[in-house]
Amino acid sequence: MVKENSNAVKKKRKANTTEADAETDIYKKACDFEENESQNRNSSEDAELFFQICQEIHDFLDQVRELKQSSGDTSQKLSCLTDIVVKICVIKKLNRLDKLAHVLGREALNTEKQKCDSIKLTYQNLVYELHHLVTETNKCLSFKSEDEDIELVSFEDFMKNAPEAVSKKFIDFDPNDSEQDHALRLARLEWELTQRKNLAEECKALEEKKKKVVEEITERKERLNDLLPLLTTVIKATKPLQEHLGMSSELTRKEHKLAPLLSDPLYVLYANIVAYKSVFETNINVSILGDKDDATQFNEAQEVSHSNNLNEEDSEPESDLPEVEEVVEVKKRRHRKSVQQVDPVEEKKKKLLEVHPLTVQLSLSITDGPSLVIIFSYYTKLKTITVKSQVDMPSNFTSDTAREILSGHNILSELLDNDTGMESPNPSTAYQLKKLGLGSFQTLVPDIGYAYGWAQSICGIDFLTPKRYCDKLSQQSVETILKITKKRLNTRTHLAKQMQQLEKNILSEIPEELQIPTTAISSLNKWSSTTYQDFCLAEYTQHLLDENLVSQSDLFYSAKISRDEATLNLYIVIRNTYPIPAPIVALCLDYKGKYTSTNCDEIRDLERTINIDWNYGIRSSSWLLSAQITHLCSYLDVYLETLDSNVFQPNAKFIRSVSGRNKKRPFKFRKIGTGLFTQY
Amino acid sequence: MVNNINKDFYNTILAQAFSPCGNYLVTGDIYGNLAIFNVSKVLTPDVNFSKEELTPKIKITVKADYQINSLVTTPNHLLVGGFGEIYAYTWKSIKGSSRSIHVAWSIEIPNGHEELNKAEVNALIYDEDNGNLIAGCGDNNIYILNIESRNVLKVLSGHSDYIHCLTKNGSDLLSSGEDGVVNIWDLRTNKAHNKIEPFKYKEIERPDLGKWIGAVHCNEDYILCGGGPRLSLFHYRFLAQSTIFPFEDKGIHVAQIHDDKVLAGGRCKLFYQASLNGNVISEIPISGPTAYSMVKQVDPYKIMCIAGSSPKIDISTNFIYKDQQLCLYF
């Protein structure tokens, strides 16, 4: 079979060669033919054929060898060799065919590969498109419009109020249908817009109306203002007539009309002060502040509630205790639901701090000085008088410390011993406050004013006796309290005058009878007010704090006295009751180190001489502080001159610079000649 | 409740003395007051011990506002060195229950009759051997007085400034003064036979504090002195400077040798006890900025009282730490 094949090939070849003669491009044809042939042939058969031919060649070569050895027939040998050549030709042909088949296969593979690539590309494009679409849909999903924030009329209202043409579509509204939902939203928005437009127009109209009304009001006010001078001229004109008829001035008459409406204690106060004024002084003024109608209303309300109370009074003692417990329970509950129940506490607080609408204003003044205005108000539930004060200063007090001294709330503090007004004089107040959980009385003071003990007594309130407002008590105390208050105002004015000068670094004049050194070289060069906190923080005030010599309600100042390189820092504590006791001074000398009364005997001795033995009583109020500072300046000179006479030229005269085992310095001034400093 | 400032808040105690029986402590302050404390009650507190026991039993005003510079005890009297005068109180009257106690007698220091120029009696010593009183005064002189006749027997003058401290050793008297000199007097000849000037020693001088010697004391071998200059020991015989004590003070006012130990204080937050070679044994914090006086006794109670520029008196029963505090006011 193979042979036949090979024969066939030969034949074809022969055919080919014959055709080649006929045709011009025979080579191409041969190529085409071979290409076709290689396509159509089975390669594995070819392979077999190849191996077979090889074997045959092998056999022929064996034959040739044998022939050579036997040195037989040469022709046979030659035919064998030709056969071999033929066979080799066939092998060559096979080889060519194989090569062609190979090339063809490769081409086919390439075309397949290209196809595959293009498919992959389209696939990738599709994936990309998918991605893009997904992001787009996400964007759409996350879309938010501002309309969502607009507060719309609720659906029910919309259905009710909107014109039927709009709302009809949504009667059988299905919330799951998103398209319908959207349509509904649009409709509601539109409806909202129209409504808002309407409202805005309405608002505009109302505003215009308001403007008109305001104009009208101002016009009327102006008219009323014009009326006032007219009325006053009328009053003026009637005055001679009134005097002629012996009628008292209109104003006091009005006030006296108000007086019966005052709360009981304030009425007692008012009556007594008016009486006092008519007998003694002309520079106190008393008046009633408040609205008459309010007062009558308030009094009526009080009476009603009072009569109610009377009815309940029988059952009160029994209900008292359980009530307290209830309050405690309520409180516990309140802790849990605190947010909801804040209001009742506020209301109760308001109720407890109920104040009578009428207040009494008392003003005291001293000639050429400030005037003090005291306003007394009565807290009906606390049954306590509270006081608010204010000082009108004449314009010549310009410095800050001076103004502070006069305007401070503490001008009335400690008029009597320890009467700071920070604690309620009514013993039951503490329980009342506790019952409502309002904290201490002190926290209320800024709102309601100071509850000084003297204020209660001049209003005739005595908490120990049953609640009758005692006229006698009031009478007794009005005089003394007014005197003390006046004295206080006086001493404060004196103090303020001194402060004003100290701030300008001038020392006030001191009466001649006092032996006081006048030739100081050291001088005050700073004076300012400070606070309790600052005072406590200073290192050299600890000993005063330890001894409990200072309280928070005192007035605190800091100052500096200096001479050349030496500086004496001082803190001054002034009690509300100045000049008794005298102001207390704490010292710190800054010269080659810091010296205070805790590490230096001389400074301690200096502090002693400045702080002690100022028993000049109330009359010293106009000069005490200045005298202390003057002494301090001179004694600082003495100390510095005895300490380092090379640096500080001696100016003060003293017999001995130091004496005694304690090396005492001459901190005592004697007016002998031009003045002499001695130890004793 | 805020206190009003108390005069005693700024008080300074310059002198202290025990009664002969040892039960009472007397202090003298700058306001001229004597305060008598019952030490026995403080040291052996019974059940009802109250804070009041820490304040004076009685107060006696010797001469108001003239400071009491020194105190000394004799068997029968308490002698008070004041301003230009020495006052005597009998112990009987002090211990008695009488409220008003009067001066038994007084001796005026002869110098300076002028009111402003009187001399403080800064140091007092009672000489048990012959019953004499030795007073170191502010007029730079030392007076030797006879208690019985109350006459001045001798005047030792040699200092150029006032006397701070006196101490006696056999027939020798040592005095220190503001002039920075420690004089050693022979009481038999009434002459100063030697002197030390500590401010001339480089190691102990402190020019910023001055040259004054605030305290002097001695035993057989050593002289202890200090003041402006640092506290230091000198050999008695050779007068050579030996130990310098490493105290952080700004001036010595108290110094004593006790059982081969040195007790010293002054302007310093601590009261020191040190060995003779300068090692600090104990430090007692004191109430005021300065200690001016220290008295101690062993019998009947072992007690040391330190006082100075404070109304408080620090008490130590073992000389090592503070046990109790007396105060001049309640």
**Amino acid letter at B134?**
I
Contact B119, B111 (CB under 8 A): yes
Q: Does the distance separating the beta carbons of B1 and A680 come in below 8 Å?
A: no
- The rounded distance, in Å, linking the Cα atoms of A151 and A440 is 47
Q: Name the pLDDT band for A409 (thresholds 50, 70, 90).
A: low
- The rounded distance, in Å, linking the Cα atoms of B50 and B55 is 10
A102-111, A434-443, B148-157, B301-310: lowest mean pLDDT where?
A: A434-443
Q: Name the pLDDT band for A330 (thresholds 50, 70, 90).
A: very low
Distance from CA of B97 to the nearest CA of A (A): 31
Per-residue pLDDT, A134 = 96
Helices A427-436 + A342-352 axis angle, to 10 = 160
Strand partners, A573: A556, A584
pLDDT single digits (tens) A450-499: 888 888 888 877 776 555 566 777 777 888 888 888 888 888 888 888 88
- The rounded distance, in Å, linking the Cα atoms of A103 and A110 is 11
**Closest-CA residue in chain B for A597?**
B289
CB of B7 within 8 Å of any CB in chain A? yes
What are the backbone angles phi and psi of residue B218, rounded to the nearest 5°?
-155, 160
CB of A423 within 8 Å of any CB in chain B? no
> What is the CA B103 to chain-centroid distance, rounded?
21
What is chain B's Cα-based Rg?
19
**Closest-CA residue in chain B for A599?**
B289
Chain A residues within 8 A of B267 when measuring between CB atoms: 600-601
Tell me: pLDDT of A96 over 90.
no
Strand partners, B216: B225
- The distance in angstroms from the start CA to the end CA of chain B is 15
- The rounded distance, in Å, linking the Cα atoms of B288 and A608 is 14
Tell me: pLDDT of A370 over 70.
yes
- The rounded distance, in Å, linking the Cα atoms of A540 and A533 is 14
Tell me: pLDDT of A268 over 60.
yes
A265-269, A304-308, A341-345: lowest mean pLDDT where?
A: A341-345
Per-residue pLDDT, B131 = 86
Nearest CB to B292 within list A604, A605, A661: A661
- Would you tell me which residues 158-177 of chain B have a C-beta closer than 8 angstroms to some C-beta of chain A? 162, 164-165
Task: Decide if domain B7-327 falls under CATH 2.40.30.10.
Answer: no
Q: Name the pLDDT band for A311 (thresholds 50, 70, 90).
A: low
Distance from CA of A438 to the nearest CA of B (A): 25
Nearest CB to B164 within list A554, A613, A661: A661
Distance from CA of B129 to the nearest CA of A (A): 27
Mean pLDDT of chain A: 80
Q: What is the DSSP letter of B189?
A: T
pLDDT single digits (tens) A437-451: 777 788 777 778 888
Helix (H) or strand (E) run with residue A435 in it:
helix A427-436
Please tell me whether the peptide bond between A344 and the residue prior to it is cis, using omega within 30 degrees of 0. Answer: no
CB of B31 within 8 Å of any CB in chain A? no
CB of A675 within 8 Å of any CB in chain B? no
Q: Does the distance separating the beta carbons of A598 and B2 come in below 8 Å?
A: no
Helices A471-503 + A624-643 axis angle, to 10 = 40
Tell me: pLDDT of A265 over 70.
yes
Helices A250-258 + A292-312 axis angle, to 10 = 20
3-state secondary structure (DSSP) of residue B161: coil
Give which of A462, A367, A358, A375 is closest to A412, Cα–Cα: A375
What residue ranges do the domains of chain B occupy?
Answer: 7-327
Q: Name the pLDDT band for A205 (thresholds 50, 70, 90).
A: very high
Per-residue pLDDT, B225 = 93
Mean pLDDT within B102-115: 80
Q: What is the DSSP letter of B128?
A: T
- The rounded distance, in Å, linking the Cα atoms of A646 and B294 is 35
Q: List the alpha helices (DSSP H) in A246-263.
A: 250-258
CB of B1 within 8 Å of any CB in chain A? yes
pLDDT single digits (tens) B234-257: 999 888 988 999 999 999 999 999
pLDDT single digits (tens) B6-63: 888 899 999 999 999 999 999 999 999 999 998 888 887 666 677 777 888 888 999 9
- The distance in angstroms from the start CA to the end CA of chain A is 161
Chain B residues within 8 A of A554 when measuring between CB atoms: 2
A104-113, A229-238, B303-312: lowest mean pLDDT where?
A: A229-238
Contact A268, A327 (CB under 8 A): no
Distances (CA, A) of A643 to A600, A636, A655, B210: 12, 10, 15, 10
Residues in CB range of B202: below 8 A, 6 or more apart? none
Tell me: pLDDT of A22 over 70.
no
- Would you tell me which residues 69-98 of chain B have a C-beta closer than 8 angstroms to some C-beta of chain A? 69-70, 83
Per-residue pLDDT, A24 = 63
HEC string of A403-468? HHHHHCHHHHCCCCCCCCCCCCCCHHHHHHHHHHCCCCHHHHHHHHCECCHHHHHHCCCCCCCCCC
Per-residue pLDDT, B183 = 94
- Would you tell me which residues 60-119 of chain A have a C-beta closer than 8 angstroms to some C-beta of chain B? none
**Amino acid letter at A295?**
A
A82-96, A404-418, A497-511, B241-255: lowest mean pLDDT where?
A: A404-418
A111-120, A168-177, A449-458, B197-206: lowest mean pLDDT where?
A: A168-177
ipTM of the complex: 0.92
Q: Name the pLDDT band for A1 (thresholds 50, 70, 90).
A: very low
CB of B120 within 8 Å of any CB in chain A? yes
Mean pLDDT within A567-575: 91
Between β-strands B191-196 and B213-218, what pairing exists: parallel, antiparallel or unpaired? unpaired
Q: Does the distance separating the beta carbons of A680 and B83 come in below 8 Å?
A: yes
What residue ranges do the domains of chain A occupy?
Answer: 2-128, 266-289+318-504, 507-678
**Amino acid letter at A593?**
G
Q: What is the DSSP letter of B314?
A: E
Contact B69, B49 (CB under 8 A): no
- The rounded distance, in Å, linking the Cα atoms of B6 and A541 is 16
**Closest-CA residue in chain B for A419?**
B1
Per-residue pLDDT, A298 = 83
The strands making up B280-285's β-sheet, listed across from edge to edge, are B252-258, B261-266, B270-275, B280-285
Per-residue pLDDT, B87 = 93
Distances (CA, A) of A452 to A42, A206, A354, A445, A449: 131, 52, 18, 11, 9
- The rounded distance, in Å, linking the Cα atoms of B185 and B7 is 41
Distance from CA of A270 to the nearest CA of B (A): 33
Q: Does the distance separating the beta carbons of A598 and B289 come in below 8 Å?
A: yes
